[in-house]
Amino acid sequence: MVKKLVYVAMIIAMVCAFALPAANAAEKAASAGTATELLVADFDSGEKPNNIGGDFGAWNKDPTDFSQGCSEAFDSVNRYGTKGFAMKLEYSVESKNPAYNGFWMFLQNLDASKYDNVALRVKGDAKTGYTTVFKIELKNAAKQVGRYYVTNITDQWQDIVIPLKDFKGITDYSNLTEFVIVFEDRIASNKKGIIYVDDIRFTKNKA
Ligand SMILES: [Ca+2]
């Protein structure tokens, strides 16, 4: 009888030894939001890289043309929520030359195939003005470029949720390299202005 109890106790101890680390990992994953959502960038640290280790910044088609361009800055006044920063993008596509620019962010060959959407919070700057429409691109390691136009931007924060399948030009989300915002002269409703971006993430649809 005693021998049997010791045996049972040993089994319980072994099961616990294996089960506990697994439970901790699951808890960590849940608290980090990876269960239904992967946070790529909340900008709250006020410095690079993003939450998954990827670099980011503004980009310009023609840095020698001073009538067009985009610059990025961490902004604590116009952040979403009560702490940290948002990303402030001040752009101009007013040039007489073809003009486009925006913001790029590395995705570190992220496997997003188990997610349904890319999501981000966006608003325009009421005082300076802003475009109500801009393009988002998702690029993968196979050099596919997915494109989607975000519309109806206002000067209030909106959570924009874009189904991955709505990106035209990309079919494989298992190896994502880059997230890009593009302001274009032909598309922008305001040729210069400020757009704020926060909480870029991949999300799953609720079951
Ligand atoms: Ca933030």
- Provide the whole-model pTM: 0.83
Q: For the chain, what percent of residues have pLDDT higher than 90? A: 82
- Quote the ligand 1 centre to 42 CA distance (angstroms): 4
Report residue 206's pLDDT band, with 50, 70 and 90 as the boundaries. Answer: confident
Which phi and psi angles does 18 have, rounded to 5°?
A: -80, -35
- Quote the ligand 1 centre to 72 CA distance (angstroms): 14
Nearest to 111 by CA among 67, 141, 133, 156: 141
Nearest to 97 by CA among 49, 127, 62: 62
- Quote the ligand 1 centre to 29 CA distance (angstroms): 20
Nearest to 122 by CA among 88, 172, 164, 169: 88
The HSE-up count of residue 110 (CA atoms within 13 Å, CB side) is 25
Mean pLDDT of 161-186: 98
Nearest to 163 by CA among 126, 119, 199, 200: 119
Residue type, 53: G
The H helix count followed by the E strand count for the chain is 1, 11
**pLDDT tens-place string over residues 116-137:** 999 999 999 999 999 999 999 9
Write down the pLDDT at residue 34. 47
**pLDDT tens-place string over residues 132-157:** 999 999 999 999 999 999 999 999 99
Whether the pLDDT of residue 61 is over 80: the answer is yes
- Quote the ligand 1 centre to 81 CA distance (angstroms): 7
